[in-house]
Structure 1
Amino acid sequence: MQLILITGLSGSGKSVALKMLEDSGYYCIDNLPTVFLPDIASYLCTEGNEKIAISVDVRGGPSIDALPQQLDALRAQGVDVRLLFLEAKQDALVKRFSETRRRHPLAISTLTVTEAISLEREMLARVGDLGHRIDTSDLNANALRNWVKTFVELDQSRVTLIVESFGFKHGIPLDADLVFDVRCLPNPHYDPVLRPLTGRDQPVIDFLLAHEEVEAMYLDIETYVARWLPCFIKDNRSYLTVAIGCTGGQHRSVYMAERLSKRFAGEQQVMVRHRELP
């Protein structure tokens, strides 16, 4: 049985992720108090359900604190448990609650939305490191669906190296473990012909390859990741996210992310993401 647990901050896209899994054939349960998790998983397994997705969060009460122990117990029973943790920046969450006019589950009379989000982030601090984290601050629903689909297809017995490009003007991804800044490199944005293209297009690649400092920067990043990746694997990490940022997240960071992902694809399980690209 494969069990996908979706958790994270309210307003971060858990409903979108759960709906996507439901459309993909998963038996889905929303807002389950984690105290019922072992019994529900056992029952659904005996009923013949092989693909299950369950959303758990602070709405289930203090039982969320027991999630680490419950994950260990389920895995000990041979269940393929995968935890997906969704989060977003404070201003993005406040904006979403404002636009939808929904009440935050912790926003009681004495707490504002901002305070409730901060409290929830604190309550879930331990849970975020248990699985795969996705920062949905700048993602549209379609991109999130694609990222979740890729996540469930990963081989959980191997470490996953995630290489993500982003634009600094939109903020650093919350899910990044290592961040590299390539804004000092020559910028194709200033060439009117290259501006509408991305770092995956050959004219942009040729432009960047023509500059020695681009090659030097790439080799430094590649050497650093190659040197320290075994240490992260030895530390029992399931995921390592390497984020590479330029100004807008269209050219330099995309080129670097694509090249780095191809470099390690033969050695590790690699996922490449481009946060700012459609």
Structure 2
Amino acid sequence: MQIVLISGLSGSGKSVALKLLEDLGYYCIDNLPATLLPQTVRLLQNEGHRQLGISVDIRGAQSLPALPDCVADLKAHGLDVRVLFLEAQTEALLKRFSETRRPHPLSALHADRTVSECIVQEREMLADVAGLAHRVDSTDLSANALRAWVKQWLSLDQSRLTLIFQSFGFKHGLPLDADFVFDARCLPNPYYDPALRPLTGRDQPVVAFLEAEPLALTMFDDVASYLARWLPAFDRDNRSYVTVAIGCTGGQHRSVWLAERLAARFGPERQVLVRHRESWADTI
């Protein structure tokens, strides 16, 4: 049996992810208290279900502390348990609550608190859950992009460490799910060539431009050497994911090129996933 647990901040896209699982044939349950997880899994397993999608979040706040032990118990019984944690920048969450005019779930418990204060409290309450999970920052993702990223994640071999290379634009903010951040803004910028401006770092003219720059090749070598040296330590720590975020100004050229080149370098020996936050359609 495969069990996908979806958690994260209110407004970060949990409903989109759960609906995707339902469309893929998973038996889905929204807002299940963590303490009911073991018996629910056993019941559905006895009924013949083999793929479950379950949302566990702040709405079941009282049972959240039990979630880590429940996940460990299910894994000890040989079940394939995957935990996905969705989050977003506070400004993006505030905008989404304003657009939908829905109250934050914690507002019912703390009527005197602003939405911003509820978001801060929610982050704190879910910190232990985030530590169990593969984290995805949905700040600048459309619903289609989020669905694409979740589908990529579902296809991974969970028994191996996954090395994720994610490009982004600094002008849109740092990604929340990064373990390492490298800054490619010091490299020559293809943006200032009118012929290259509408392209991305995956297009051959931009690749040729950057690979003709010694500074760009030196940065690639340095980042690759650093990762090659330290990744074995993450293996020994039994980490499931390491996200390497590479930023440039707009997230279209230099960071995309460097992420793609690093993925090609480590792909033959590692399980690698490439994500381009600002040009996500290129990754599908």
**TM-score, with length taken from structure 1:** 0.99
Secondary structure, in 3 states, of the residue corresponding to 1:215? helix
Q: Which amino acid aligns with 1:116?
A: C
Secondary structure, in 3 states, of the residue corresponding to 1:4? strand
* Identity value in percent: 65
Alignment match, 1:207 = 209
Alignment match, 2:55 = 55
Alignment match, 1:80 = 80
Give, in angstroms, the shift of residue 129 of structure 1. Answer: 1.2
Alignment match, 1:106 = 106
Secondary structure, in 3 states, of the residue corresponding to 2:194? coil
Tell me, in whole angstroms, the C-alpha distance in 2 between the residues paired with 1:147 and 1:209. 28
RMSD over equivalenced CA pairs, Å:
0.6
Secondary structure, in 3 states, of the residue corresponding to 2:93? helix
| Aligned counterparts, 1:1-278, within 5 A | 1-107=1-107, 108-277=110-279, 278=281
Per-residue Cα deviation, 1:28-65 (whole angstroms, up to 9, x for no partner): 00000111000001100111000000000010121111
Tell me, in whole angstroms, the C-alpha distance in 2 between the residues paired with 1:133 and 1:109. 29
Give, in angstroms, the shift of residue 226 of structure 1. Answer: 0.6
Tell me, in whole angstroms, the C-alpha distance in 1 between the residues paired with 2:214 and 2:34. 54
Give, in angstroms, the shift of residue 134 of structure 1. Answer: 0.1
Tell me, in whole angstroms, the C-alpha distance in 2 between the residues paired with 1:201 and 1:6. 35
Per-residue Cα deviation, 1:189-243 (whole angstroms, up to 9, x for no partner): 0000000000000000110111110100110000001110111111110000000
Give, in angstroms, the shift of residue 110 of structure 1. Answer: 1.3
Secondary structure, in 3 states, of the residue corresponding to 1:54? strand
Per-residue Cα deviation, 1:45-100 (whole angstroms, up to 9, x for no partner): 11100000000001012111111111100001111000000000110001100000
Q: Which amino acid aligns with 1:246?
A: C
Give, in angstroms, the shift of residue 109 of structure 1. Answer: 1.2
Tell me, in whole angstroms, the C-alpha distance in 2 between the residues paired with 1:18 and 1:226. 35
Secondary structure, in 3 states, of the residue corresponding to 1:183? coil
Per-residue Cα deviation, 1:111-157 (whole angstroms, up to 9, x for no partner): 11000000000000111111100000010000000111111111011
Q: Which amino acid aligns with 1:254?
A: V
Q: Which amino acid aligns with 2:48?
A: G
Secondary structure, in 3 states, of the residue corresponding to 1:16? helix
| Unaligned segments of structure 1, at least 5 residues | none
Secondary structure, in 3 states, of the residue corresponding to 2:106? coil
Q: Which amino acid aligns with 2:141?
A: L
Q: Which amino acid aligns with 1:74?
A: L
Tell me, in whole angstroms, the C-alpha distance in 1 between the residues paired with 2:190 and 2:106. 46
Per-residue Cα deviation, 1:218-270 (whole angstroms, up to 9, x for no partner): 10000001110111111110000000000000000000000001111111110
Secondary structure, in 3 states, of the residue corresponding to 2:105? coil
Secondary structure, in 3 states, of the residue corresponding to 1:240? strand
Farther-moved stretch of structure 1 (103-112 vs 39-48): 103-112
Tell me, in whole angstroms, the C-alpha distance in 2 between the residues paired with 1:198 and 1:2. 37
Give, in angstroms, the shift of residue 16 of structure 1. Answer: 0.1
Structure 1 runs of 4+ aligned residues shifted over 6 Å read: none
| Unaligned segments of structure 2, at least 5 residues | none
